[in-house]
Chain A
Amino acid sequence: MTRREAMGLVAFAALLAAAIAIALGSGRYSLGPGQALNAARLWVSDPAAAATDPVAVVLFSLRLPRLAGGMLVGAALAASGASYQGIFRNPMADPGLLGVSTGAACGAAAGLLWADSFRTIQFLSIAGGLAAILATLGLWKLLREEGDGTVSLILCGIVVHSTGTALLSLAKYVADPYSKLPALTNWLMGGFSALGADEIWRVAWMAPPALAGLWLVRGDVDILALGDDDARSLGVRPAISRLVAIVASTILVSMAVSLAGILAWVGVLVPHAARFALGPRFSVLLPGCILAGAAFLVLADTSCRTLFALEIPLGIATSLAGAPVFAILMKRSRRRWA
């Protein structure tokens, strides 16, 4: 690891620590570090008393789950986005490229219409993400020809994505406009407002193995960014390494959507910023994106719930903030990826 890479990672870790402190401390009920420590002590020594202590309740039942959700989703989207950009040789590739997030959203919509328990929504949204990737890969297997690159795979992803979009519209159309439609619309905008600790733990276990999968192919992701024939000449089997990265990313994206709906831009924006600071090597970029993605989403979510009297849905904020920030990054890094 070069000096620049190491310094960048340290800076991202510091940024995440700051984001955590800000997220835990700010809100309608402002908390100082002393109060937080006291509450933590109380929670450890006397959980029953902590359940009625207002500071402990705010900290452990409201802010901590939300913080954990933000970190998990931010890290998952940024890491999977970075891997997609490498394996598809496209700096604009979004982790939803192969239809996974649309599929997961369809699953969640079905869950909302059918049962309206968060558990069902989560389960169906992860199932929807997996179904989408199976559909994309299956279609590709059917249509591909020998020697094909990634373009045919991406086109299959577009087919699945647009089918998913149609199904989502259908779900909105048939949803009861008084009870179900507002919930569905709200959910699709993306955010953490309904999130509790249970919902997070139910899916958080999926992240470590998926991230480990990405780490396993870290060298191959770089080589695939050179092109498939280059990769073959170096003994890498493009289809296999790409499949490992796709499966890992699918798990991460489905998990993220099952927690927070569809959050635009995070998976493109954060990897760009990380690449700008750390350089393009995936073995550095992956930990960098985990740290920076977690920090970014925690800060974005904290802004959403504190800046205005009314909480803004996170998905709207990331889209609004993402577009101009991305334009600036594009201008600044133009020379680097021209």
Chain B
Amino acid sequence: MSLEFRSACFGYPIRRILSDVSFQVRPGEIVALLGPNGCGKTTLFRTLLGALHLRGGEIFLEGIPLERIPGIQRARSIGYVPQISSPAFPFRSVDVVAMGRRPRLGRFGSPGRKDRAAALDALEAVDAAHLADRPVTELSGGERQRILIARALAQGSTYLLLDEPTSHLDFGHTHQALRILQTLALEGKGILWTTHSPDQALRHAHRVVVLSGGHVASQGPPREILTPALFEETFGIRASVREWTDSDNRTRDFCLVEEDA
């Protein structure tokens, strides 16, 4: 079981953005896509969702070429948490989460009572049950993020794509969101998320795929690939991974940016 990219290329009909991407995500695994702005992370996600065609290579979902899988079936396996979602109208949170049931409802369906119950369960799972009746348009960024994660959970998919899930969150909410990711992975979800922060990737991902200059610059366990040379090349800064041991003798890794020379 896996979501696998084999020499996949992404972009638009006239402009290739990302070439020769090969890696895979297995259930229970957290893979971070790390890269500077404009490296093609969003294009890669939009291709996975079927908004854009693959420009070369292949993507396999459980061994089957993704382009051969109908959208509704793909949606049963791959859930998506957008960076921001701004509904045109003030839907209640529970209704937005219930929309996650759509792939289970057949060609023309609308969520019913059972789906609403599933939505409430999903809200519970992200500690947002108290938000159920609030209009999503009135929620803060952190609350909205949890609603969107709950929607993907209600979808019941094996794989989750998260597009910069922490970019709109403050320090505390960022931490909470990343904790939720870890819990979901422990429950067996395969998680592919994009981030700008090497620090987050270092601590929360099993593997990191670094995208830069239209291709994969490096990939592997974060501790091994986040080298000073990579920071220099990809982000144009001098930085390195350091170790810090606390009073209980536990060590943690963090990224340290060196002062400009």
Contacts and interface: CB of A to CB of B under 8 A. Distances in A.
Interface of A: 85-86, 89-91, 145-147, 216-220, 222-223, 225-230, 232-237, 275, 279-281, 283, 335-338
Interface residues of B, number: 42
Given A234-B102, A280-B90, A146 B13 contact: yes
A234 B108 contact: no
State the 3 A-B residue pairs at the shortest beta-carbon distance, nearest first: A235-B75, A219-B110, A233-B80
Contacts of B111: 219
Residue of A146, A218, A234, A237 with most partner-chain B CB within 10 A: A234
Given A90-B88, A233-B80, A236-B102, 4 more contacts: A218-B110, A219-B105, A230-B80, A283-B110
Interface string B64-76: 0000000111111
A4 to B, nearest CB: 10
Residue of B76, B95, B100, B110 with most partner-chain A CB within 10 A: B110
B60 interface: no
B244 interface: no
Nearest to A87: B88
Secondary structure class of chain B's binding surface, majority of residues: mixed
A235 B100 CA distance: 9
B53 to A, nearest CB: 7
10 contacts: A86-B88, A146-B53, A220-B108, A222-B110, A226-B88, A234-B155, A235-B103, A237-B71, A281-B91, A337-B89
A279 B92 contact: yes
Nearest to A241: B108
Nearest to B42: A229
A186 to B, nearest CB: 37
Nearest to A233: B80
A280 B80 contact: no
Contacts of B135: 336
Given A86-B88, A230-B82, A234-B155, A223 B75 contact: no
A145 B108 contact: no
Interface string B81-116: 010011111111001100110110100111100000
B49 interface: yes
A233 B49 contact: yes
Contacts of B50: 232
